[in-house]
Chain A
Amino acid sequence: MRKLALYPGCLLSTSQYGYEMSVRKLMPKFDIELVDVPGFSCCGGPVRHLSMNMTYYLAIRNLAIAKKEGLDILAPCNVCHLSLTEAKMKLFGSPDLLEKMKEKLMMEGLEWDGPVEVVHPLEIMHENLDVIKDNLVNPIGKKLACHYGCHILRYSDLERCDHTETPVKMEEILRAAGAESEPYPERINCCGGLYVANQRDSALTKAGQKVEAAQFRGYDGLVDTCPWGHRLMDGQQQECAQTIGEKLDLPVIYLTQVVGYAMGLDPKELGFDLNLSKPLFGGDESEEAADEKEEVAE
């Protein structure tokens, strides 16, 4: 069993609980034990605009905290995953900057004892395609579109989770879970998630266009791995629809939730109730019929 520190970052800690629940439930299926480490803060990713220096500091202090516990990090948020990886690599390549950061760490009573590995749930699932196939309880049987999210793909000077222009891992994971999934042109477009700070309408436009593309192409649902996109495309889908002047009604769901469901985990414990878009499962039936089905399943 591999132990990893669960690094929830800002959005999982404060609002995207469904993602955190599904990560916590699913990872043990792949022989991963998640450890809660006190002391973590924001990764710095959302505030690069204000200060890259601060972003590096925030990232490196989180790495140092995990290192103190002797643990590598699981970072389910794409923005966190990039920010933590970036700080590690940049500081590694820039001894002058690293020295300055070490001084700051000392002021907080922390020390730099070398980098730790930063892992994304996408990578874990992809390493375990056989485990998913061998433990398939509910083959998904739907046609699903992937939204990768910018920060696990770019930029490739850093180690990223998949190929920058032609990623394959999400589709392969979904196929292992019994779904149909093929690449489509808009899948690596940006969701506008980081616009929420100062360009809310543009954020909703970008996210709306992502949902619209998947809906237009006839997919049954859109699967994502990043809380920044999910909170817009799922949580605020109707605002997105209004902003772009289209009718949107597409299930948007986390990859960890889909895979968890396929492997027989309880939808409630995977946080299905916290998704606000149309449900991926049971959505075509009347609500009553869906409820009945759930009761039978329970």
Chain B
Amino acid sequence: MPVVDLTSMNLPQQDRRSTINNTLELIRVAKVDLCFQCTKCTSGCEAMKLLELEPHKIVALAKAGYIDELMGNDVIWTCMVCFKCKERCPQKVSPVEVLFLIKNMNLVEGKEVPGEYSNWLQTIMGMGMIMSEQPALTKDGSTVERSDLGLPPAPAPEDMEKFMNVVMMAAMELMV
């Protein structure tokens, strides 16, 4: 996993920093400026224990405006979305949502997204869910389909084309 040096000597990007703060305001989350670096978020972070994600540093860099550096760093993709940082922050800051917004900027700017994410996105736009219906394995090693189990067909959007257009539009725009 490539990890970019986060101690950059570049100038901070104040416009991107404002975008993040304005979006946080729109979705009623405290701005990154309120973080006082207590590190409580990091001490409970599930990804810190495994992959050295340190949410307080993410927030510190966002607060200072080093957004490009964060966007180019694979560590932003190691959050496992446990929401402990958001739950426990004494300042109501939300490192997990700051991370989402930084990754969202990556998608909007056409940067590569890792792993299965682009597959999931395409499958949502093509059939409504992140993956297609799979046969399930049983304990004795045979496979069964939904219909074999007496389950009704899985739901899907009724007008797939309209659905796809709206979802695509939503994915490719920032909230502010």
Contacts and interface: CB of A to CB of B under 8 A. Distances in A.
Interface of A: 8-10, 13-15, 17-18, 20-21, 24, 36-42, 46-54, 56-58, 90, 93-94, 96-97, 100, 104, 107-109, 150-151, 154-156, 164, 189-190, 192, 194-200, 202, 205-206, 235, 271-276, 279
Contact of B149 (A17, A48, A200): A17
B36 interface: no
B171 A202 contact: no
A206 B130 CA distance: 22
A167 to B, nearest CB: 13
B104 to A, nearest CB: 5
Interface stretch (B11-19, B54-62, B63-71, B131-139): B131-139
6 contacts: A14-B129, A21-B151, A24-B151, A90-B27, A198-B116, A274-B139
Contact of A36 (B46, B82, B152, B172): B152
A97 B27 contact: yes
Interface residues of B, number: 67
B84 to A, nearest CB: 7
A273 B140 contact: yes
B124 A53 contact: no
Contacts, number: 198
Nearest to B141: A276
A122 to B, nearest CB: 17
Given A10-B130, A154-B84, A198 B28 contact: no
B59 to A, nearest CB: 16
Interface of A (DSSP majority class): helix
Nearest to B45: A190
Interface string B147-173: 001111011111100110111011111
Contact of A189 (B46, B77, B157): B46
Interface of B: 26-28, 46, 50-51, 77-84, 86-87, 97, 100-101, 103-104, 107-108, 113-117, 120-121, 124, 128-134, 136-140, 144, 146, 149-152, 154-159, 162-163, 165-167, 169-175
Contacts of B116: 196-198
A97 B80 contact: no
B81 A279 contact: no
Contact of B170 (A57, A90, A271): A57
B156 A41 contact: yes
A198 B117 contact: yes
Nearest to A192: B80
Contacts of A190: 46, 80, 82, 84
Given A37-B155, A151-B83, A50 B166 contact: no
Contacts of B163: 41, 108
B104 A52 contact: yes
Given A14-B131, A51-B104, A90-B28, A274 B136 contact: yes
A145 B76 CA distance: 32
A109 B78 CA distance: 37
Nearest to B106: A50
Contact of B115 (A109, A154, A189, A198): A198
Given A107-B166, A189-B46, A279-B139, A54 B117 contact: no
Contacts of B134: 14-15
A57 B167 contact: yes
